[in-house]
Amino acid sequence: MNIIVVGCGKIGYRLVAEFVNEGHDITVIDTDNPTVEEITNIYDCMGVCGNGVDCNVLESAGAREADLLVSVTNSDELNMLACFLSREMGTKNTVARIRNPEYNGDSLAFMRHKLELSMAINPERLVAQELYNILKIPSAFKVDYFARRNLEMIEVRLKPESSLCGKKLSKIREKQKEEFLIAAVLRQGELIIPDGSFELKVGDIVSIAASPGDMQKLLKGLGLLKKQARNIMIVGGSKTAYYLADMLLASGNDVRIVEKNLDRCRELSETLPKDAIIIHGDGSNRELLLEEGMRSLDAFLCLTELDEMNILTSLFVSRQNVPTVISKVNKSELVDVAESMGLDYTVSAKELTAEILLRYTRALGNSRGSAVETLYKIMDGKAEALEFVAQDGAAYLGVSLKELSIKQGVLVVGIIREGKKALIPNGDDKIQSGDRVIVLSANNRLNDLSEILR
């Protein structure tokens, strides 16, 4: 596809990398010429220096023939206008980054309709939802949902005290009544799709698939279940903090936000429910954190715009035995640093945004057959978990999984039939038309369910 990306900030860079890797023809637009030169030198893409709402610039970028324009500048209004103009010029699909909370709800739905936006995407809200999911299952540092939340895939890191260490998967399955699948293991950077004889070790990152009900029972039975966080502190009064606090307060959690900008503190006090506690102060000040009851917290989240501060503050808090500590880290090179220093939980707005738009472009590129319904990058980006709806007439229908010639590195993780509880399949199960099929894929880029076959 021909794709235009307007805005070459952190998220724009990440999108270009993903789109180029997918084999699309990319043109970038940015007002900063050195930035355009840099990104076109790094990636196989074209560049236009200019304003994304200038019709001449859009013309030069090929808006009349483009399949998709994604505008991710720092201005919501510019993003919406760029999408509107490019759509008027002939671009088939448009996506705008819209971050302002005032544009949510009915207002956003109205603007999407009038501007003919294909999608509005809010990275800060995406991060907040990811954090909310983690806090609801604090045993995991990544939680993904499929088939209208009928199936969950979580990732857990095995600690030295874990009862799973030294156990073979077949033995673990024998002792548990729940339906589940250990779909993949990441060991020292190597992705493994294990069989029953595989033995787990300390430090392994394990991907587990199960229905929500079975997942809770399984984690409890395996000794991995932590209590849900109720008493939560957030450092940094960002948009992400606002969205997350709003979700948590609606669920009955106790939430405190530490923010050093007094005007922002007043804004948060006015826009969040009254039971939110807003503290004016520097969240990197250890004495302040201790005074505010840090050691009694269930969870601590550092969500400032400074990755380095987030990491260092989170490290200090994690050493005070706070059960769940999460840090927002946007720079890819710092994620490995954070993990090597002992932080299990990091989130990134650009990675989550890339996932959403990667799924969208895969679906656009497959107007027939079983298009991608859901897509997540998992296991440190070394695999993808995808959801498809099985279509009539496909070669895989009615054939047992053990008889299908499935590609190496591809695993059918779950089947949801008629909106019922997820089935964790074995070799005798068969895919039927209308099934929602969850697939794990390593080293294979799947656009259609039929592509699981050799």
Cβ neighbors of 122 (< 8 A, separation 6 or more) are 97, 98, 99, 104
Mean per-residue pLDDT, 54-78:
96
Contact 288, 261 (CB under 8 A): no
pTM above threshold 0.75? yes
> pLDDT tier at 368 (50, 70, 90 boundaries)?
low
Q: In this predicted structure, what is the pLDDT of residue 403? A: 96
pLDDT at 313 over 80: yes
Q: In this predicted structure, what is the pLDDT of residue 23? A: 93
Q: In this predicted structure, what is the pLDDT of residue 335? A: 85
CB atoms within 10 A of CB 309: 17
pLDDT at 377 over 80: yes
Element (H, E) at 333: helix 332-340
Spell out the domains of the chain, with CATH numbers in brackets: 2-121 (3.40.50.720), 128-221 (3.30.70.1450), 231-322 (3.40.50.720), 366-452 (3.30.70.1450)
pLDDT at 104 over 80: no
Torsion sign (Cα): 202, 207, 211, 213: positive
**Amino acid letter at 320?**
Q
User: Each residue of 153-175: pLDDT tens digit?
Assistant: 999 999 888 889 999 999 999 98
Residue written as tokens 């859009």?
A: 58
Q: In this predicted structure, what is the pLDDT of residue 119? A: 87
> pLDDT tier at 331 (50, 70, 90 boundaries)?
confident
Mean per-residue pLDDT, 92-120:
83
User: Each residue of 202-249: pLDDT tens digit?
Assistant: 999 999 999 999 998 999 888 888 878 899 999 999 999 999 999 999
> pLDDT tier at 369 (50, 70, 90 boundaries)?
low
pLDDT at 107 over 80: no
Element (H, E) at 13: helix 10-21
pLDDT at 79 over 90: yes
Whole-number Å distance between alpha carbons of 393 and 56: 47
Whole-number Å distance between alpha carbons of 233 and 450: 46
Total count of residues recorded for the chain = 454
CA 59 to chain centre: 33
**pLDDT averaged over the chain?**
92
User: Each residue of 2-34: pLDDT tens digit?
Assistant: 999 999 999 999 999 999 999 999 999 999 999
Alpha carbon distances (Å) from 195 to 105, 155, 178, 190, 275: 46, 18, 18, 15, 49
Residue written as tokens 């998992």?
A: 378
Percentage above 90 pLDDT, the chain: 71
